[in-house]
Amino acid sequence: MISFKAAFRKEFELADLIKLAKLTAQLCEPEKFHLEYTIGIENYDILEKFFSSFEEVEEFLNLTPCDFDSLRIIEKSADHFVSFRQNSGRFSFFGRRKDTAAVETIVNSVGEQILYAYFHDNGDILLSRVCNYQSWKRQLGKVPNYVRYYDNPGYLGGERNKYTIDLETVPTHQHFIKTGDKLWFGACAMMYFSDLYYKYIPKEKWDQYTDCVENTVLKNGLRKITLYTDFADCENSANRDRQWQFRRQLDIDTVAHGFDRSRPVPEELLIPLQTGETFHMDWVSITDMMDALQISSGQTFGKEKLREIVTQLEGDKVILVKKGASSKLLKSQEDLQLLIDSYDARIVISDIL
């Protein structure tokens, strides 16, 4: 199954998103629409409503004063959907389809407003965000030789969570920079990049990159790079090599790491602190929460887990997060936000709670 995701510039308004959702509905011919929305800024509960046509969605939004959270366009097969989300004044859409035709039509229609977009195998995308060793084994039957993994410092016995994956060794892993541009850096089968990327990687490097199926600047200014077209064959060694070559030739990771302010916690801080009770949490449980915040159908779960963590920090607890071979020490909501930024800087605690 193919996954796709795109993020838009700050100027992209809610009205533009609704128009884009309408265009997508015309292309996908869905059987129902799932709208999640909030009434009142202090209401933590996400309300939901189903519609049988986009005209019903439009009428509801016109008549009901509410905060738009997400709209999921569900096709006849439950595995095919497109979801639009409003987040921190920024908008994104993501979903799964067996082909890219409808999405490419969308990109061609609103490309000048897109910051970035990428298309890839859904299973590979999910694994590249998960450091749980057992998840890799369940998905692929074994952990590939090119992936490094370490003893899990939080291991308590048994087979579960015995090891943790080093995501930096996964060619599909992603980074988000923490500047105002909030750009994505990664390597997927097909990608679109706006001209804002030239601020971080010179245009000449992009122009000179040739180890791909396609490297084209479209009429709307987006650069389209296709590493390979057989999306499902992501474990093919030639396709993996192209992902790494793309990262290396454009210095993707060098640029992204330059914006990563996170550092391993010094060993002397790993003991219980005097300021409060130490609460231990593994990175997998944190990413489960953030995965849910990224996916419209799981937002309620994600918000509940996020509130639990924030409540612990406000209760004078210190949270020690085990992440690979290192740990992160959280003593405040600001520390938690920095940790979330390393996963997806568009998830802003103050906007969710």
Using a CB cutoff of 8 Å and minimum separation of 24, what contacts does 299-308 make?
A: 299/36, 299/46, 299/69, 299/70, 300/45, 300/46, 303/44, 303/46, 303/352, 303/353, 306/349, 306/352, 306/353, 307/44, 307/353
Interval 210-248: pLDDT, tens: 999 999 999 999 999 999 998 889 888 999 999 999 999
Q: Over range 34-39, report the average pLDDT.
A: 85
Q: Provide the pLDDT for residue 206.
A: 97
Q: Tell me the longest C-alpha to C-alpha distance in the chain.
A: 60
Nearest in space to 46 (alpha carbons), one of 37, 35, 55, 57: 37
- How many residues appear in the chain? 353
Q: Provide the pLDDT for residue 272.
A: 36
pLDDT-based confidence at 270, cuts 50/70/90? very low
Q: Over range 161-189, report the average pLDDT.
A: 86
Q: Provide the pLDDT for residue 191.
A: 95
Separation between Cα atoms, residue 159 and residue 134, nearest integer Å: 8
Half-sphere exposure of 233 (CA within 13 A, CB side): 10
Interval 315-340: pLDDT, tens: 767 787 876 556 677 878 888 888 88
Nearest in space to 83 (alpha carbons), one of 252, 298, 317, 271: 298
Q: Provide the pLDDT for residue 352.
A: 80
Q: Provide the pLDDT for residue 79.
A: 58
Q: Over range 289-314, report the average pLDDT.
A: 72
Question: In whole angstroms, how large is the CA radius of gyration of the chain?
Answer: 21
Q: Provide the pLDDT for residue 10.
A: 79
Cβ neighbourhood burial of 245 (10 Å; 0-12, 13-18, 19+):
middle
Q: Over range 139-157, report the average pLDDT.
A: 80
48 neighbors 39 (Cβ within 8 angstroms): no
Q: Provide the pLDDT for residue 271.
A: 36
Q: Over range 180-209, report the average pLDDT.
A: 93
Interval 46-65: pLDDT, tens: 788 999 999 999 999 889 88
| Cβ-proximal residues to 254 (8 Å cutoff; 6+ apart), any chain | none
pLDDT at 276 over 70: no
Question: Over the chain, what is the mean pLDDT?
Answer: 80
Q: Provide the pLDDT for residue 209.
A: 96
pLDDT-based confidence at 117, cuts 50/70/90? very high
Helix (H) or strand (E) holding 293: helix 283-294
311 neighbors 158 (Cβ within 8 angstroms): no
Task: Spell 102-115 as b/e; 16+ CB within 10 A means b.
Answer: bbbebbeebbebbb
State the pairing for strand pair 184-185/190-193. Answer: unpaired
Separation between Cα atoms, residue 336 and residue 179, nearest integer Å: 17
Q: Over range 109-121, report the average pLDDT.
A: 90
Lowest mean pLDDT among 81-95, 158-172, 283-297: 283-297
Q: Provide the pLDDT for residue 296.
A: 44
Separation between Cα atoms, residue 274 and residue 180, nearest integer Å: 36
pLDDT-based confidence at 80, cuts 50/70/90? low
pLDDT-based confidence at 250, cuts 50/70/90? very high
